[in-house]
Amino acid sequence: MDINKLKAIVYIKYGGPEVLHIKEVEKPYPKDNEVLIKVYAVSINDWDWGLLQGDFVNRMLNGFLKPKRKILGSDIAGRIEAVGKHVTQFKTGDDVYGDLSGRWGGFAEYVCAPENALALKPFSMSFHEAAAIPQAAMLAAQGLIDKGKIHPGQKLLINGAGGGVGTFALQISKLYGVEVTGVDSTRKLDMMRSMGFDHVIDYTREDFTKNGQCYDLILDAKTNRSLFDYSRALCPNGIYVTVGGSILRLLQALFLGPWISLISKKHIRIVALKANKDLLYMNELFEAGKMKPVIDGPYKLNEFREAFRIFGKAEHQGKVVMTI
């Protein structure tokens, strides 16, 4: 293989996993403020799925007729092989991880990244664990702490509790001494119980917005219901926080949230992700044994279509991680 080439998962048209292919592409070289990373692991996020399928919003971001960026992947973990001349935080040989949202390129053997998009990987953390953390853990932390103002004694509900955000959110919330209910599909409930959810709800059998229970805080990783349904499940002065999901539902939260807050004293908040903001906090929790990523996989590079298929059908538990 040409040393100036690398293998990458590439797509040149929108669609499902079938439009993804492994191809040789040019090896990138770091700019002055960038590092070159040999990628060892990468995880799949909702944003990857949206860009792959090419819904209207993602076409506006990445090309209306065909994708401008042909290599997806934001949550990476790997080893630095070269540094730009203005890089001060890292050196060749450092093991790092981070979220490259907006740049992408992580589904490849090598990727370049600015140093402010990365954190050092603790020695005790595997590359697969590191790749599972960035986006999902940031959304969980920023949703619960920054927007949700979580505090002891609350009743918390996590919608989409068996995925990446939900499994991180459970572990963070337990540090605050709250009672946690998780909502997800039948296949994920045993895993959720084993993790320590106080209550689990199978959404195929029960609608948590209609069972008469109310919650002080709802963290929503799905955003697949009417905002008025979520409001009904909030206790007085409760807070609903969405971290992603249906674009139409997110727009509803954006425009109707202030009105609902005004008339009901129930608060509607949206997390605008601050990528990599809390990576050092995640390192502290991991090294203290208080946080461990839940990994579906890792899948080998040649299993990439199966990994995407499982993600697209929401059959995964925790984060879908691939070895590169």
The Cα 282–Cα 139 span in angstroms is 12
- Sorted by where each begins, the domain ranges of the chain are 5-133+293-323, 136-270
CATH 3.40.50.720 fits 136-270, yes or no: yes
Nearest to 157, CA basis, from 214, 204, 202, 206: 214
pLDDT at 1 (0 to 100)? 56
Q: Look up residue 306 and give its two tokens.
A: 């199966």
Buried b (16+ CB within 10 A) or exposed e, 164-186: bbbbbbbbbbbeeebebbbbbee
Question: What is the reported pLDDT for 52?
Answer: 96
Name the 3-class secondary structure at 192: helix
Fold for the domain defined by 5-133+293-323: Quinone Oxidoreductase; Chain A, domain 1 (3.90.180)
Mutual orientation of helices 164-174 and 134-141 as an angle, nearest 10°?
Answer: 50
Q: List the one residue out of 136, 119, 204 whose CA is nearest residue 171.
A: 136
SS3 193: helix
Residue 18: per-residue pLDDT: 97
Residues 6+ apart with CB under 8 A from 8: 22, 23, 24, 25, 71, 105, 107, 108, 109
Within a 10 A sphere around the Cβ of 155, how many other Cβ atoms? 18
pLDDT tens for each residue of 100-114: 999 999 999 999 999
Find the largest Cα–Cα distance for the chain.
64
- Asked whether the beta carbons of 191 and 319 are under 8 A apart, the reply is no
Residues in CB range of 248: below 8 A, 6 or more apart: none
* Closest residue by Cα to residue 177 from 204, 162, 191, 198: 198
* Bridge partner residues of 157 (DSSP): 181, 218
Gyration radius from the chain CA atoms: 20
Please give the model's pTM, rounded to 2 decimal places.
0.94
Do 210 and 235 touch, CB atoms closer than 8 A? no
Q: What is the pLDDT of residue 101?
A: 93
Residues of the chain scoring pLDDT < 50: none
Q: Which residues contact 163 (CB under 8 A, 6 or more apart)?
A: 136, 184, 221, 314, 316, 317, 318, 319
What does the buried/exposed string (b/e) look like for 101-130 if buried means 16 or more CB atoms within 10 Å of the residue's CB? Answer: bebbbbbbbbbbbbbebbbbbbeebbbbbb
The pLDDT, as a whole number, for residue 242 is 93
pLDDT in tens, 268-291: 898 999 999 999 999 999 999 999
Which residues, listed in sequence order, are joined to residue 267 by a DSSP beta bridge? 239
Cα gap 270→149, rounded to integer Å: 13
Among candidates 133, 73, 143, 148, which has minimal Cα distance to 291?
133
Q: Per the structure block, which two tokens stand in for 227?
A: 């905002």
Residue with tokens 């040019």: 26
